[in-house]
Structures are given as C-alpha cells and as structure tokens.
Amino acid sequence: MCLSYPGKIIEIKKGMAKVDYGREIREGRIIAGSYKKGDYVVIQGKILIEKIPKKDAEKWLKMMKNA
C-alpha cells in the first residue's frame, strides 16, 4: 500500500506537470483531465491521477506538517 499526498502544480509544459511537494519537485504526465498552474494533484507512477480540491489539500498538508 502506498501513501500519496497532494502537491501543487507550478508549471505545465508539453503534457507534463511539475508539482511542488514542499521538499521536492516531481514531474507527472497529464493523461486525461484539465489541469492548470496552482491546482493540487496526486501523482502515482509519474502520472497525474487526481485533482484535489484546494481546501482538502491544504487541510491534508497541514495535518502532515503537524505529524
């Protein structure tokens, strides 16, 4: 089982999104869906798999920071 947490898209170029996770930047391929800079997403296997509502992402990140 894997634990994934949201990161924030900081750049989109040629179907790839750079996602900021605070301590690292990851890249993920956009296969389907509509994404824009500032969206919170989850990457699994270098593929964007889900967009997370901002409110939920910020709540999750706050909880992880305090853990």
* pLDDT, tens digit (0-9, with 9 covering 90-100), for 44-67: 999 999 999 999 998 888 887 776
Instruction: Count CB atoms within 10 A of the CB of residue 12.
Output: 16
Distance CA 42, CA 49 (A): 6
The DSSP result for 34-57, as a single string, is: ---TT-EEEEETTEEEEEE-HHHH
Give the closest residue to 17 by CA, choosing from 44, 48, 42: 48
pTM of the model: 0.86
Six-digit token string for 44: 């699994």
65 forms beta bridges with none
Q: pLDDT tens digit string along 2-53?
A: 677 899 999 999 999 999 988 899 999 999 989 999 999 999 999 999 999 9
Go through the domains of the chain in sequence order and give each one's CATH number: 7-66 (2.30.30.140)
